[in-house]
Structure 1
């Protein structure tokens, strides 16, 4: 699995470099790559949260899980509708913690390291937003006007990056030092990429795929044979439901709102799915019982 992760990250970095050197004027490449990542590992890595709760879950227990999942999504949707700025800040905060946690999947997960997770994820998220500030500003403009704040965002990037390094060294020592070259290379690449491509590379290859491989390593114990096939089969139901729901919403809105607004709405939909996923995934990684 480590070879798969290393190979996929190498591919992602190579793709990003190829884009920078040869295809920067072809904006459609970013959209295609972003779509492919979301259709494959992006959405599907959260489609088996119910199995992380209980690998044999079914019947009433599964319905109760789905009810809780939809309840969290519904509550968060209300936050977006009533307090959109709070919804945006919650999304950034939750995602920062969740993405940062993915950098330490090979370490012992512990609550005392949670601030390190948050700082690491926050650094990369803010970096991606700062790197393409013009599009970031256009997308979040309906919720928060950030024109003229690019320098302040850069200060936040530098501060979170510095603190994440200090925290990483303090909590993980040599293992963090070994990962530091990868972090630097990734940060340099993301600082030059457009928003959607940068997010797709980071979200897909430094979060979704590593998380999916951890899920597979745990769940494969339930299957004596054809493990990969059975794992992929388990991903399908909720992946299809999520994709169909998002596709219907995007189709309905496509000719009614601007492209930037449509992208923002898509990220809102992602945030709704992410809220319960982040909760259950953290419980799973921390080794606590799921209720």
Structure 2
């Protein structure tokens, strides 16, 4: 993964350089194209991942897995419709942990389960709120559309500062007590600086696309392929895409239907992000199960 991060840094700044050549409309088209391709693809093989985590003597049928998965997605959609404020907070929390967890903050030293959850969660909160901080006005508009009323303040500065202090405090403890974690911590602090530069110098959608595709979706796809097939090869990547195609297409059709029905309405952005959030909830649960399986094998 260290070799990939070198490519990711170069690719990120190359995208920032391209930023100066693209109009805002072009950026939006390219960004959504990437999100609809690699972004949705990285969560389209969840059913196969679930099957791969099940032991042969305790294997759940495909239909039952599909039923559970669809129910979780429908629950997410219903929650956004009935209690959008609660759904949005859950989405931010779940996404934050998922983003932090994808950074690979795993410890080769004994630490409490509480810190195993809190540390990547706080890291993910910092990533999200760095993006929110540099584009607070646009974020406020989108959130207002989602929850259907305007909040007095989003407390972006306060949350970012608080999470930053907590992250630095825990990091200082790890740095002081566990020498094996020091290089990893130095790298992650550098990556946060890279993310800040990306978010500061790009638009909301372009900055999010750079992070979401280069730093989250592609590394996740690589990890999933290695977990399912044992190694990453081009043939395994093709097999991964083939297995994911039906669910990737179903997600695109769902988004396309939303656009067709609500493209001229102000609520489309809210519906779009709500749909993405709904399919994120089961994906995060699947990835957590995968990571638990990997840790169990390596233990």
- What's 1:75 paired with? 75
CA 114–223 in structure 1, closer or farther in 2 if over 3 Å, else same: closer
Matched residue of 2:52: which SS?
A: coil
Quote the offset at 1:2 in angstroms. 4.9
Please tell me whether the aligned partners of residues 35 and 213 of structure 2 are also in contact (alpha carbons under 8 angstroms). Answer: yes
Detail structure 1 runs of 4+ shifted over 6 Å in the superposition: 222-225
Describe how 1:38-77 pairs up with structure 2 within 5 A. 38-55=35-52, 61-77=61-77
Match of 1:253 in 2: 262
How far residue 225 of structure 1 moved from its aligned partner, in angstroms, is 9.0
Q: Is the 8 A contact 1:96 1:119 kept in 2?
A: yes
Q: Where does 1:265-280 land on structure 2 (aligned, <5 Å)? A: 265-280=271-286
Match of 1:145?
150
Shift in CA distance, 30/224, structure 1 to aligned 2, threshold 3 Å: closer
Q: Normalising by structure 1, what TM-score?
A: 0.85
Q: Counterpart of 1:281?
A: 287
Structure 1, unaligned runs of 5 or more? none
Distance 2:232 2:14 in 1: 35
Q: Name the TM-score, length of structure 2 as normaliser.
A: 0.83
Distance of 2:15 and 2:230 partners within structure 1: 34
Distance between the aligned counterparts of 2:215 and 2:87, measured in 1? 24
Q: Distance in 2 between matches of 1:12 and 1:146?
A: 33
1:226 counterpart SS class: helix
Gaps of 5+ in 2: 175-180
Give runs of aligned pairs for residues 154-233 of structure 1, distance below 5 A. Answer: 154-171=157-174, 172-221=181-230, 226-233=235-242
User: C-alpha distance in 2, partners of 1:199/1:188?
Assistant: 12
**Are the aligned partners of 1:220 and 1:227 in contact in 2 as well (CA < 8 Å)?**
yes
Can you list the C-alpha shifts for 1:212-258, whole angstroms capped at 9, x where unaligned? Answer: 11001111239999322212212212111111111111121112x13
Q: Which moved more, 1:220-229 or 1:152-161?
A: 220-229
Question: What's the Cα RMSD here?
Answer: 2.8
